[in-house]
Every structure is written in C-alpha cells, then in structure tokens.
Structure 1
Amino acid sequence: MNQWSEVFTNLKSLTLAMNKYAEYLTKKSEEKSLNQSLLKPVRSTEECTSMVVLPSNTSQVPFVVRKFQSLLDKIRDLPGFVPVFVNDFLSLDRKMRYEELTLLKEHGLSYPTVLFTHSPGGNVGNFHFIWKIPEMSTSCSDDVMSKSVCVTQSLQNQLPKFHTRQMRREFVGMFGKIAKVKPYYLREMYKRLTGDWTSAHDTDAAALDKRVKQFLQLGDPDIVTDLREHNPGRPSKYEPFWNEVEKYMENVVETAVQERRHGTVTYLATAMSVPNLLECVSKVCPPEVPIPSPQWLRLQFWPKKPNIKGITAVHRTPQN
C-alpha cells in the first residue's frame, strides 16, 4: 500500500492543478465573450497611455550614448514638441527592446524630453513616442504639460485601435442588409473608416481580407486570376488523356449505378475511385499519350472556387 501512496498523492496534486487551470480557462473565456459583446472598445485611450518627463542628463554613459546616437541625431534637428517614433530606433527583440527602454528612462538624453507610451494590450506591443521640450522646463510646468497633451491628441489617429466583435458585427449587419455588399468589403470599409487594427477571427477571413486589401491598393478587383490566362492558345499537355477519359466515361461508365441494379443483387459502378479511373483509362491510351498523376487527376474534379454554390469542376461535373 505504501508504494501507491506517493502515486496517489501526485495524482491528487495533478488533478487539483488541472481543475484550477480549467477554472482559469473558463473564467478567461467568459471575460472574452463579455468583452466581445461590448459596443465600445474594451480599453479607453486614457487607460492605455502614459506620459513621463525625462530630465536632461549631461553626464551621459558612453554606452548609452552609442545606443541612442541615431535617436539623438533625429531629435537634435527637430524643434520642440515634434514627436519621434521611438520604436524605429529600438531592437526588434522584445527582451532587448525592454532593456533599451529601461536605459532610456533611467539615463534620459542630453536634453529634456517627454516619453509617451501607448499600450493597447495583446500581442501588438507598446508604441513609444518622444519629443524635445525647452531646456528650462520642469516636470511640473503647466505649459509643457498642456503642449504635450496637444501632441498626444495629434497622435491619436496614428495609434492603433481595437474594436470588439459586436461593434464590427453591428456595422456589417446594418449596412450589409441595405447595400447588399459582401462582408469582406464591409470589413475593409470598417477598418479604413475607424482605424480598427483587430485581426480576423479565422484564417479564411484573414486570407480574404488580405486579397481585398491587395486589389484595393492596386485598384484592380480582378488582380487574382488564373495564371493560365496569360498563356492563350497554349495546348494542354494532358488534353489527349482527357479525350480518352471522356470516351471512357461515355462508353463504359455511362451511368452512376449499373443498369442491373433492380433485384436482390446490387452491382457497383465502374471506376470506383480516381486511382481506379486512372488505371482503366491508362490501359486504353496509346503509348505516346502522357499519363498524369492521381493527385493531378483528382484536382481536376475539384471546384475552382471552394465553398461557393453553383460552381463547376475544372473538367467534369456529375450528371443528374
């Protein structure tokens, strides 16, 4: 019995841990559902922004000076209260970027500045802006703070916004019924009108949004075309093979089920699968006719545009 006591203790600890994790996931799922049902962004601008005054530091550490030399050169040539996007001067690695920002906040630059940070949440990361202020200004100067607030207001259009699913659904539902516009067009319209940065809810929607954005930028809704249209008049390599397939389908298969289907005995149709069809047609093809692979032959029976009603396969459709 003693040899199982340790196993029982470990199993009990594992069960309790899994139960707590399940409760955590349930709670997060409920919070997410609640947030997505809101008709306003989950986080307001005031909740995700911060502003701090960095005093000038004349005794700069050489390492810090080298690290931010390009940022110093950029700010030096600009007048006061003109924002610079700090992220362009930081490392792409998240850990190194955090360390660089910590150095900037601790040591500052060779002249007083204001560091503005926008933290929208999620995996997007933070957006940092910095601007120079007059040398004699202090952190409690009302004039500096009022002008800095004006700078932050001018940055609002450049900052990402994340709207809830209900906000987007209401827009698409309202205007989709009136204008009868496709949902992917309405999604792109909503993003351009509101500045919403929210990603698509699944991979299919993301692919559609990417294509819509592409042909809107190029001004050509037919930009995604079949590349074979660029080779007019070029004969198909497997056209002789398809001629033999047509003959076989008409002369041998004829119907979906064998004519002797009435009675107690049931007969299956000829060419039960794509490999079987390929084998049967290959036997009657002349030696010089190219034979495709089973994968290529199967592809020819697939629809040109999946998930759309009323479409036809590339080469053949079933008979009613």
Structure 2
Amino acid sequence: MARTPHNDHIPAPKRPGKYPNKDRLWNAIIEMLHQCSEYPSDSPEARMGSPSDAQAFVQAILDILWYIDGHHQTLANRVKIPKLFEKFEGYNVPEKMKKRKRERENLKVDRLTDLAYRLSRFQTRSWMKVSNWIVLKDSVDALVDATTQYCTYLKEKNKVGRQQQERLILKKDNYTLELLPICPLPSVRMRDLWLKLQSLGDEEAFVDVNEYAPIDRHQRFRYLTDLQAGLPRKTVLLTFSIGGSTPDYHFIWVARQKEEDNLRMSTSFIDEIKAAMPEYHSRAMRRLYMNRFGLFTKDAPAYVLREIYSDLTHDASGCRNVEETELKMRLEIALAAEDPDIIVDLRSLNGDGSDRFEVFWQHMATYINDKSSVHERRQSTVNYMAVAFSVRDLIEEVSKLCPEGTPIPSQTWTRYQFHPKHPRSMAARLYLKRFNLKLMVQQRLLRLTHVDAHYCAAYFRYMREYAVLHRDHCQMISMDDKHRLKLGEPSYPVAAVDREIEVIVSARQCHGRR
C-alpha cells in the first residue's frame, strides 16, 4: 500500500532476506496496519509515536505471532484468539525448512509470559486510544489476555505434574508405587475403603482396592480418580499393570512415619503381591510344551497336559473355546474331589479304532474310479459322478462287488464319506472326505453321439479348407472360450493352433489344423 501523510509513520515492508518466512509475516502485519489506518485523521495523536516506537510495536506483534504459529488449535481449546490475528498462521513451519529441519517446540510459560508483557506495554500508548486504532487496540488487548490466561493454565498443569512426580516413589515396567497426599474430606465413595484401613490399625497389611471399586469401568475410573486425591491419612498406592484387556490391580496400605519402615514394608508387600499375580502365556508357549512332553505321555489326554502346564507355570490364560472351558471345569472338580474315576472318557467304548467297513470302502473306491470323471471347466481334485443315481443305488451296486457277509454301511454314513455340496455350511463338518467325490449331477460331462455329427464336422472342415484356398480374399475366425487367437502382421502366416511353440514357415505357406 502506498504511503500517505496519515500513515507514513508505519514501518516500511521488508525484502525477503535470511529469514524469508519471518519477513513475509512482517509484511503481512504492515499490510494489516495500513488497513486499520485507512481512514485518515488530522489529529497528531493518531500517529504511532516515533519511528522507533512503531518499529518496536510491530516487532512485539511479530514475535508473539511467530511464537504461537502452529499452536492456534491448542490455544483455541482453552482461550479465544482475536479474529484480527487468526490469519497469521503457516509462517513458522520448522519441519519444512530445507536446511535445518526440526520439530515444533511446545509453548513454554516463561517465553509466552515475556512476549505478552512486551506487547502489553503498548496498550497504554496515547495513539492506541484514537478511534483510528480502536479495532487494533481491542485485538491487542484480547491477545494479551488470551496468552496470559493460557500461561496461568500451563502453570497449574505444571504444578500438578510436579506434585505427581513428587508423589511417585517407584516405577517399574509392570507396577507403580506412589505416595498419596492427605485429604481431610475424601469422597463419599472412599468410606468403605477408609473404614477397612482404619480397622487394620497399626498392623502391617494391605487392602485390595479392586474389592471396593465398582465393576462398571466408567464408575471404576471415577472411583480411582477420587482415590488419587488422597485419604485422611498418608497412604501408599501400588498399581500392577498386567497388560492387554485385563484391568489393573490396585493395593493400598497406610504409610509409616519413618522412611526406612515405608521402604521395608513396601518391598515386602511388592514381593508378596507379585508372587500372587496371574501370568498370561501365549499359545505358542503352550504349544511348545504340548509338542515336547506330549510325545512321552501319549496316554495322557490333552486337557490333562493343559492343566498340568497351567498349574506349574501359574498361567491364567483363558481357554480357546467352550469345549476347553467345560473340560477344565470338570477336571478341576475331579482334582478337588481327589477321585480320578469321576471323569469317564466315552471314547474308550469305541473299541480299537478299526473301521469294520474297510472292505466295503475299498470296493467303493474301485467302483468310483470307473464311474467318475473330472469337471471339464474346473481345476480341482474333486471328481463328479458321470451318471445320476441315488446313494441307495450306489450301495446296491457296490454290495454286488463285495464278498458275502461284508458289513454294509447305512445311506447316511455312506453320504458322509464324500465331499459336502457346500463346504462353508454347518453340515460340512460331518463329512469325512474319504473319497474325492461329490454326489452331484453335472451337465456336459459325456460326449453324446448324434446322427448328423459326421456332416457337421465335414462342413466345418470344408469351410476351413475354403478359407485356406482363398486366403487372399477371405478370413475365417473361430472363437472358443478355451483358446487364444493371436493376430499377426499383414501378409504373414499365423499358426491356427498356438501352443507357445515357435514355427518356421515360408512366405507363401499357410497353416491349418484339423
């Protein structure tokens, strides 16, 4: 903006130099001042004082806007930035610098307080009270108030952080030990816990906070938050973090006056509680145990090995499914009753495990190999019956091939020896898949004869030979869903059946294949 007599006191813009982004911010502030003073005033009080005073004012605004650049959203969560200064964002971006990239620094109380104080010195200037600068004055006042309020908020947060750090006695990977402050009037939720601690007196014992905390996770969080505020006596809180979705374990006891007694008692409690804490092992660790010791204990069932592993290693991991949970509960009952005969494995009644229909299955396999075929459009190891008949007919045909007296299975048991029609259905779990066969009726598996088949083949052959004979005037293209026809260069021969084999031909040779 060009200088006029009423705004010649405003500092001049800068050319981009060593810090181009900061110079751009300077020029943006200068442009804003010109817009604020666009209404001329003949009063000498409207001038921004001396040139050095105007220079210092612009520098103060630039420093504070440069410092809070990138933190507008953080400030907006607590205070309100004046609308006049909201647009001054995106100039201080240290992570995008070409020569020296660095992370953006957090706002510090001392630095922000100093910048706000330097800007507040211009609030009492006489030229700020003129009507020309009323918008600028209100925005500067609001910016100083906002930064001051945020500094107060940071001081309170730092104070709370220091108090928590002072309360912290010991912190390890899986547990934290902290000293709670004294609160003469604790929350009403702490009444039962405090009565329990009072009943212990001077006895060296701890209390499990989880027994008094609510089950609901939201109410439990509020309960633990109130506990952090403290109790009428100085107490020590021990928090064990197991990890995963398992909630933390909290234990509390009354602190002693001597620091030596507190350290001795805390060490004793931590060792006692740590020994009682549940452990959670991975499935790979349990599988390694089963594979290693299961070879020498083939007679021991899997659920017994799992219970032995859990008892020896104190593994508190949950079961994989409902069946394992039921077996675990039954085994615990048997161990508590000290009666191993309370559980009976009904599978022992199945005999030696041999299949009495083995002869029938062998003859069925022979019959299936003669009567089944692969699917012409699918790539799989499952065969399909080439003729349509029921399971009863299949059993009757195979029975004729078996010796007299051979056990014959039922229709349902025979059907379960095949592959299921729908592999993802619930009934598919019952199929044993003994034979690579599906009992389904498929179309176009057999080549049926026709009285005109010879004439159709001869007609197609004549068309192909005619196209070869008059190759310069006609073309014959036969489309098939299982064949790729490659188009060659003009006037060059192309093999009609391409099997990815190179063929040497002459210039006048043409290929045709029956």
Instruction: Give the structure-2-normalised TM-score.
Output: 0.33
The aligned residue for residue 171 of structure 1 is 289
Percent sequence identity is 29
1:1-320 pair list within 5 angstroms: 46-58=172-184, 60-61=185-186, 64=187, 66-78=188-200, 79-106=202-229, 108-134=230-256, 136-137=257-258, 141-180=259-298, 181-223=300-342, 257-258=395-396
Give yes or no for contact 2:242–2:248 (8 Å, CA) kept in 1.
Answer: yes
- How many angstroms does 1:175 deviate by? 2.6
2 CA distance for matches of 1:56 and 1:111? 5
2 CA distance for matches of 1:121 and 1:174? 28
2 CA distance for matches of 1:145 and 1:80? 16
Indicate how the Cα distance of structure 1 residues 46 and 169 shifts in structure 2: closer, same or farther if over 3 A, else same: farther
2 CA distance for matches of 1:130 and 1:260? 77
- How many angstroms does 1:216 deviate by? 1.6
- How many angstroms does 1:144 deviate by? 1.4
2 CA distance for matches of 1:147 and 1:52? 14
Give yes or no for contact 2:175–2:238 (8 Å, CA) kept in 1.
Answer: yes
2 CA distance for matches of 1:179 and 1:76? 54
The aligned residue for residue 387 of structure 2 is none
Deviation track 1:267-290 (CA, whole Å, cap 9, x = no partner) reads xx9x9679xxxxxxxxxxxxxxxx
Of the two structures, which has the highest relative contact order with CA contacts closer than 8 Å and spacing of 6 or more?
1
- How many angstroms does 1:113 deviate by? 1.0
Give yes or no for contact 1:81–1:148 (8 Å, CA) kept in 2.
Answer: no
2 CA distance for matches of 1:169 and 1:260? 44
- How many angstroms does 1:124 deviate by? 2.1
Name the SS of the counterpart of 2:239 in structure 1: strand
The structure having more radius of gyration, on CA atoms, is 2
Q: CA RMSD in A?
A: 3.5
Give yes or no for contact 1:80–1:132 (8 Å, CA) kept in 2.
Answer: no
Unaligned 5+ segments in structure 1 are 1-44, 227-253, 264-268, 275-302, 308-320
Indicate how the Cα distance of structure 1 residues 142 and 179 shifts in structure 2: closer, same or farther if over 3 A, else same: same
Name the SS of the counterpart of 2:340 in structure 1: coil
Name the SS of the counterpart of 1:52 in structure 2: strand
Unaligned 5+ segments in structure 2 are 1-170, 346-391, 402-407, 414-429, 433-514
1 CA distance for matches of 2:276 and 2:400? 73
Which one-letter code corresponds to 2:266 in the other structure?
S
Instruction: Give the structure-1-normalised TM-score.
Output: 0.51
2 CA distance for matches of 1:101 and 1:260? 74
Name the SS of the counterpart of 1:110 in structure 2: coil
Deviation track 1:230-284 (CA, whole Å, cap 9, x = no partner) reads xxxxxxxxxxxxxxxxxxxxxxxx9983379769xxxxx9x9679xxxxxxxxxx
Aligned residue pairs total 191
Give yes or no for contact 1:49–1:119 (8 Å, CA) kept in 2.
Answer: yes
Indicate how the Cα distance of structure 1 residues 225 and 113 shifts in structure 2: closer, same or farther if over 3 A, else same: same
Deviation track 1:65-104 (CA, whole Å, cap 9, x = no partner) reads x312221121112235411111101111111011100000
1 CA distance for matches of 2:326 and 2:204? 40
